[in-house]
Chains A and B, each alone.
Chain A
């Protein structure tokens, strides 16, 4: 009880010199608390999305004894702003039309023949079933007939259920999937292609990477916020005979009380406003209602964890003077080990296939972020010892100062390194998700698609050509692919055009040979009628034609499956938008942490500069010495963060995950790093704006 009373006295001190620590802990507790609560909310949203995804993944009939209720063909259409939108073509087996197990979640019944049920996200974007060459169904359980929340992972995603027209079916063989229905199963068809919300694994990773680790950086700094008052009182208590352990408890309780004030405010904001959010800045995705709202006990537990962590970190700092000599913290090459391991993990990740390789890559990324607090002071200390041998007095003294207090002086640089690394890696991931999928489709003078469908009829190609405008040319594919002796396909078959003009117009190339010797995308070109068994065509359209416009040419055909071969594409992963939102949150937290650390440095700088002035230095010399000591670790932090980001981008690029635009990545890292350095210089200048003084 006495500990609590004395700690309260410390915490609520009205001494002006205690205000920085009070403000740091309260505001830091608020920001870190809100970030941790948002991380819990994000993971909860990921769990809801994963649960809904699993519920709408239909169970596959694995044996002949399984009761097949539906046949399914899983297709996809690329739509601007949505990426690849899954289109599930369903065909009930006779007698199972109204079987509850045949009806996907979010629907009241199966769509009628030739109809499609769209997700509300597509409707809101102005896309209707007619745009996909189908009729609108009211089978969804929302008021507008679209798919209900139970069948969605988000309110904004693109998703379609369709059913073949009356006179058509999904045919037989090929990629037709027999389904037991919508019931839990070990063998289900995965639905998601480019989900616009994070499923649980991605949400957990994002929460850790973009919220929890940056919040940790902020909270650790706040919990160790400098306070001459606290230090003096702790000193006094120690001299009076109070044990170090007791003083640590006092400091821990004092920190906990101050952080608790911030966390309580964060909890109020979270429970009243934050947890009800369904949309976020820099992100067009809309979560399902309540997805971001975890149970209240989860939020309370998260808040409590923040308070406890702050108390533990505070208590672990030095609270009383060491009776031993001031030799500074010893840094050895062992401090580099975690970062080396992290870099090795990222470097070898492409050698490991599948999800494990991805886990190793991101494990390396997270470990790098956690290793920076050990690495930057170690490197700063090593550089400081070299500086100590320089003849220039400011550099020499700055080196001596840095060598003694590499841990403390490097704290703003540690956050800067994290900021640079975070900026570079998030940029690479954003670039990769947004643009990399389209990089595999070559650009050209025209946009070209390969489109196939099921249950083809003799007149299908003629009907498609009849619907196509003049500038859209349709070539009919026939024949089988042939392989060379080495197993590599020499031809995918042939593609027939009604005339030589049509063939040449297809590629906007007047030189194309019409004698059967030409080759288009691996197909041998021919002029002549389409084969009767054609179920695939090549569609050549003017650049910029939308995939939905192409799909409309196939109105009335089942399981239309377009695949773009050439031209500009709308292919992207909407998950990129979450990277942008997450980066904004992480940057906000880390910028606050940087400013706070610089504030701490400013307080200690004032004390040390005063001592330098008394030793005989001029104000200018003391300032220069202090600035060199402060900027040296920053100069180390930028390349360290940059190297980590480049390695992540390079190895992620090998997996098709990240972009690797080295120039742009370098500019991003340099901008972020130099901004941090400029911030330090600006705060120094502001702090010392008074005229030179002579003591």
Chain B
């Protein structure tokens, strides 16, 4: 990584690594589909193609009907699903990094989002790195590293 230029690192990050945060961090000026397609558009994809791929990504997270909605028309749990759809929209994505993706959600939504994350990365064959305080989320992962524990 250190040998890459800034531009190459940016490109690598956008195409290979998906990011999901504690807060969905959607852009309020864009529709749900535009939010998902944004990285593709900035990668130079044709709009029609980018939106088609975004719709497919939304379908995978169960939000097929929500593409044309504004971001304040969907619930918080749905917004977090959109964030995951956005993180996984690029066909070249290999790694999903999620920082406390369920911290702001109620218990049921947290369970749904965790299941979604796991199913998505498993079905696509991606790696996923989740930072969480929620042991039920951690329990769904293949490997757990407790940062409080002393190094072995």
- Which residue numbers of A lie inside 8 Å of B, CB to CB? 325-328, 391, 393, 396-397, 400-401, 403-405, 611-612, 614-621, 691-692, 694-695
Contact = CB atoms under 8 A, between A and B. Distances in A.
B73 interface: yes
A326 B70 contact: yes
Interface in B26-75: 26-30, 34-35, 38-39, 41-42, 44, 47, 70-73
B57 to A, nearest CB: 13
A694 B86 contact: no
Given A326-B72, A695-B13, A617 B30 contact: no
Contacts of B6: 691-692, 694
A326 B86 contact: no
B26 to A, nearest CB: 8
B21 A614 contact: yes
A326 B27 CA distance: 11
Contacts of A326: 28-29, 70-72
A618 B70 CA distance: 24
A401 B41 contact: no
A612 B86 CA distance: 13
A393 B37 CA distance: 11
Contact of B38 (A328, A397, A401): A397
B19 interface: yes
A391 B47 contact: yes
Nearest to A619: B10
B134 interface: no
A260 to B, nearest CB: 35
Contacts of A614: 19, 21, 25
Given A400-B29, A692-B6, A325 B14 contact: no
B41 A396 contact: yes
Contacts, number: 69
B70 A325 contact: yes
B133 interface: no
Contacts of A618: 7, 10, 14, 42
Of A325, A401, A611, A614, most buried by chain B (CB within 10 Å of CB) is A614
A325 B68 CA distance: 14
A405 B47 CA distance: 23
Given A400-B30, A616-B86, 13 more contacts: A327-B70, A393-B41, A400-B29, A401-B29, A611-B25, A612-B27, A615-B25, A615-B26, A618-B10, A618-B42, A694-B6, A694-B9, A695-B13
Interface of B: 6-7, 9-10, 13-14, 19, 21, 25-30, 34-35, 38-39, 41-42, 44, 47, 70-73, 86
A298 B124 CA distance: 76
A404 B25 contact: no
Contacts of A612: 27
B38 A616 contact: yes
- The 10 nearest A-B residue pairs measured at CB: A616-B39, A404-B29, A618-B10, A614-B25, A400-B29, A694-B9, A393-B41, A393-B42, A692-B6, A326-B28
Given A326-B70, A614-B19, A616-B42, A694 B27 contact: no
A611 to B, nearest CB: 5
Contacts of B13: 616, 694-695
B11 to A, nearest CB: 8
Of A393, A620, A691, A692, most buried by chain B (CB within 10 Å of CB) is A393
Contacts of A404: 28-29
A81 B112 CA distance: 84
Contacts of B70: 325-327
A391 B40 CA distance: 12
Contacts of A691: 6
A611 B27 contact: yes
Nearest to B87: A616
Contact of A615 (B7, B38, B72, B73): B38
Given A391-B47, A393-B41, A692-B6, A403 B27 contact: no
Of B9, B25, B29, B38, most buried by chain A (CB within 10 Å of CB) is B29
Nearest to B12: A694
B30 A616 contact: no
Nearest to B71: A326
A325 B97 CA distance: 30
Contacts of B41: 393, 396
A616 B14 contact: yes
Contacts of A615: 25-27, 35, 38-39, 86
A180 B6 CA distance: 90
Nearest to A402: B29
A75 B18 CA distance: 87
